[in-house]
Amino acid sequence: MSEQKAGSLANVVCVTNRHLAAAAAGIEDADSLAGRAAFLAQMRRVVGAHPRAVILREKDLDEASYRALARDVLAICRKADIPCILHTYATVAMELGADGLHLPLPLLAKQGIGLRSQFRVLGASCHSVQDVIEAQALGATYATVGHIYVTDCKPGVPPRGLAVLRECVQAATIPVYAIGGITRTRLTDVLATGAAGACVMSGLMRGKPPTW
């Protein structure tokens, strides 16, 4: 894969976190009108930088609240021609015609292999070679593997590291994306494992423009 230009998001999937975006704007309540506006403004900045895709990962929202937010984020992504992959709620993704769906592996296993026929893109969160193999068998078209580096999202939990990422890539027949503690300076090492790219949350949810 060719070397990525500084600041480029060509190999980066944005993973959302509305709480981080609101906090960066000095707003405590991410679900207030001001918090929602700050998050959507950040999403416009992010998609304007042309990431490979966006995963709308707002797992603490109930289905109705997630659906309402997904409508707005899908509209932003579609205007910029950026794929938007919804998370957790398969029925919402089908209803809104999302570009794809991402699930934690246990939820994908619960949904069953039949889910693959509903989505062109189907992702799974994995943490080991065994997870990646299972995800493939369940019809996943890509997998995320992490966390690779120390990250504030997993305080006190040791990272799995590049060696595990490399093992997952070698075992996979689908693209594998690293997640967890990814920075621009670390992306070269991530890509050197054969990974298709990396998922980034904090670096894209904070800052004007995004700090990646």
Distance between CA atoms of residues 160 and 168, nearest Å: 11
Q: How far apart are CA 17 and CA 118, in angstroms?
A: 26
Of 136, 121, 35, 37, nearest to 84 by C-alpha is 121
E-state strands within 24-108? 53-56, 84-87, 100-104
For residues 168 and 127, what is the distance between their CA atoms, to the nearest angstrom?
A: 9
Average pLDDT of adjacent 10-residue blocks, the chain of 212 residues: 55 97 96 98 96 97 98 98 97 96 95 85 96 96 93 72 96 97 93 97 86 70
- Judge whether 148 and 179 are in contact, CB under 8 Å: yes
pLDDT for the residue 3? 40
Give the whole-angstrom CA distance, residue 38 versus residue 59. 19
pLDDT of residue 5: 44
Residue type, 40: L
pLDDT in the model for residue 4:
43
Calculate the CA dihedral of residues 156, 211, 31, 15 and round it to 10 degrees. Answer: -70
* Amino acid identity at 96: L
Q: State the chain's maximal CA–CA distance in angstroms.
A: 45
pTM: 0.93
